[in-house]
Amino acid sequence: MPQATKQLNSSQNLAIGDVLSWYQKPNGIYGNTTEANFEITVYKEDTVRVQVSRESKYSANPYSVISAPFEIDFNISEENGKIWIKTSKIYLSINLNPFYLTFLTPSGEIINQDDPAFAISWLGTEVSNYKKVQPKERFIGLGEKTGHLDRADRAYTNWNTDYFAYGVGDDPLYMSIPFYIGLHSGLAYGIFFDNTHKSVFNFGASNNRFIYYSADDGDMDYYFFHDDSVAKIISSYTELTGKMEMPPLWSLGFQQCRYSYYPDSEVLTLAKTFRDKDMPADVIYLDIHHMEKYKVFTFDGEKFPDPKSMIKALKEKGFKVVVIMDPGIKTDKGYLPFDEGKEKDLFVKFPDNEIYEGQVWPGWCAFPDFTKPETRQWWAEKMAFYEEAGVDGYWTDMNEPASWGQFTPNLINFSYEGENVSHRKARNVYGFQMARSAKEGCELQRPDERPFVLTRSGFSGIQRVAAAWTGDNVASEEHMMAGIRLVNSLGLSGVAFSGYDVGGFAGESTKSLFARWMSIATFAPLFRAHSMINSSDAEPWAFGEEVEEISRNYMKLRYRMLPTIYSSFFKSTQTGLPISKSLAVDYSHDKYVYEIAFENQYLFCDSLLIAPIESYKEITKVYLPEGEWYYLFDNQKHIGKQTIYQDCPLNYLPVYVKAGSILAFQSEVSYTGQAHDGILSLHVYSGENASTYLHYEDDGISPDYKKGKFLKREISWNSAMGKLSFAKTEGNFISKFHSFMVFSFNYNCIFTFTKLFKLSRSIISFFAFVLPRRFRSSLVTNRSAGHAWASSNDTVLQKSKRQR
């Protein structure tokens, strides 16, 4: 690599300077300027990588990017003091004197442009990229960040931080994902800054000249994405950094957690109460009190004298068990994990080779160096302790890493895959690599089942190995709404499987707050309630009969929707798109979706528009984007691109179905592993356009779906023709449904919901339908439906002219 001229003045800004020479390579160019070396690589038609360093060798992040450049056709030319790199979707202009970049569309519209004076610059070791602000530019994404959907005029820091009871505007939090999406002039682009040091993204705070992103040290290494939609940009980002794998089906059910449930008798009583009260649930968590003096890979012999038998009893009731794993290893001689880690040189150390100790729950602890392959393998092997007890999933907490005092010394050393770096470079990926170790441990200990790992901390690429939750939130209306934005922002940043602590971890939830939170979380990827020690009981039945009934109804709705939710998870594994999707994905240039009154609204499973609202409000404004929308609970049809007023008493969350959608439901079950009645209910909401629902099934637990043991089938509805079409099935899994029923909804309300959520035990089935006699012929009978569903070939069901 050509050597740049070094200038060591760190007291003022040092810009990259003029290009001295450049050379072509098979997938781009490289060269040097007066102050640095640069390399530009074409990854795909819509993706370009930019690397700049003042060192002779680039220092890449080995953890986030898993995709290599594709071989594509593109052109390189030089004219009028510029180098041009042209793909079918991006024209990149590299100005030579001085060096700065302009990304354009093939028609010549500017997508994104460096500030020509500063472009890429240094202040000491800090490296920054300054970008011109385009007219009316918006910025969305950036992962787990508080604040508004549009991040313009604010600055954010990426530095994974343990933040108990954080404020709804506080930053930074637990997870860092340095990827954002810019929007202006009908265009969209994405930038992923692939540098694991502490970084800052300033979207115009305190100045009106530029936006910038910077890192304390390391290279300027970023990927630029451009396509004709936000959805395609997210898909390209997740193609680069990876997509989630299919989770176990049980992880989509309701999950109950508390800091902490103990002793074992309390855990068993908890499970029994869910079943006795007919409240569907799948998972019970064991927090830190399950351990002996908070030491990982132990059970407390007094509180849990026979954990294997307890877990067996829980499984007999249909529950899975998830245990917490903190990284801190108590530095007690005779404690096997510490003795082994010390002997095998697996702990983070000071530069003089002494083991670093930080104080956490067990006391003074050593910290495994998860950036070292040997450590990850050792941790995976240690998880045999939990496997022998029958544990099903793992919750990696305190993995920022956290320690009392919140000020980890920067000089401690990490392997970083053999590079040997300081805490400054390794901190942001520590939680990611611990979660990776847990996933690999799941696969090692139980290879015939899919792993489930829930992590608090992470970095870009975390979606490949774990689900995420938004940490120690607070029982307040503001936090409930902020959690929605956090999950939506994570979805914009490639993390599709995430959630928040329903009811709030810190503080005491009110009755109305808990009821509303349960209704909203029904439509979240992760459905988990959690509460703190020394607080009142916070189970769904702990707030009185009304809240219990509302919670039960929404929990049952969640379980009836599992065919739709599971199919959406499969779709996300293919596209990388979120399950809870900010309206900014599908309606990116509609100014109303960014208004404070509507920024919390989102699409769940593509078809359901959720309008979250505080528990104390009984009427609210809802913005309906372009199209037509049915109110879920009475099927009233609304025209889109307008604001409506909606009644929202505590038992009715404003939820709308997009016209043209097909929603799939199953019968009630108490847990995901319980057999349903075998009838798939397809609810068809007529619209102007034809629509398609992709139905997906597999065994819900094994990795065999990767070997073709799945069922995938497209179901299409044409409203104008009254025709429902079933495409050929793919895969070799036999469906668990033997027949289906079709319910057709249009503006005449052919079939309508009965009044739901009545505070009455007399409701036999959560979804009962009024079928007016003249329309009953529109309901596909089990006999004809069974034939259609059993057939693996193309099948068409069509109403007669009289039925239409």
Catalytic residue numbers read: 397, 400, 472
Task: Establish how many alpha carbons lie within 13 A of residue 9's alpha carbon, considering only the half-sphere containing its beta carbon.
Answer: 7
Indicate the helix (H) or strand (E) that contains 492: helix 477-492
The three-class DSSP label of residue 734 is coil
| Residue 128 near residue 121, CB atoms below 8 Å | yes
Beta bridge pairs of residue 469: 499
Cβ–Cβ contacts within 10 Å for residue 404, how many?
12
What is the spatial distance between Cα 753 and Cα 767, in angstroms, rounded to a whole number? Answer: 7
Nearest CA among 250, 239, 258, 136 for reference residue 186:
136
What is the spatial distance between Cα 123 and Cα 548, in angstroms, rounded to a whole number? Answer: 58
Instruction: Name the token pair of 338.
Output: 């510490």
What is the spatial distance between Cα 160 and Cα 458, in angstroms, rounded to a whole number? Answer: 8
**Separation of first and last alpha carbons in the chain:** 72
The CA radius of gyration of the chain, in Å to the nearest whole number, is 27
What is the spatial distance between Cα 386 and Cα 307, in angstroms, rounded to a whole number? Answer: 10
Residue 220 vs residues 54, 215, 223: alpha-carbon distances, Å: 10, 8, 10
The type of residue at 691 is S
The type of residue at 783 is R
Cβ–Cβ contacts within 10 Å for residue 509, how many?
26
Nearest CA among 642, 584, 646 for reference residue 612:
646
Residue 374 vs residues 384, 433, 442, 729: alpha-carbon distances, Å: 16, 12, 16, 44
What is the spatial distance between Cα 475 and Cα 537, in angstroms, rounded to a whole number? Answer: 13
Residue 688 vs residues 636, 658, 685, 721: alpha-carbon distances, Å: 16, 11, 10, 11
Q: What angle do CA 343, 196, 434 make, to 5 degrees?
A: 40
Pairing of β 320-325 and β 91-95: unpaired
What is the spatial distance between Cα 263 and Cα 705, in angstroms, rounded to a whole number? Answer: 38
Residue 258 vs residues 509, 538, 540: alpha-carbon distances, Å: 14, 8, 12
Indicate the helix (H) or strand (E) that contains 374: helix 373-382
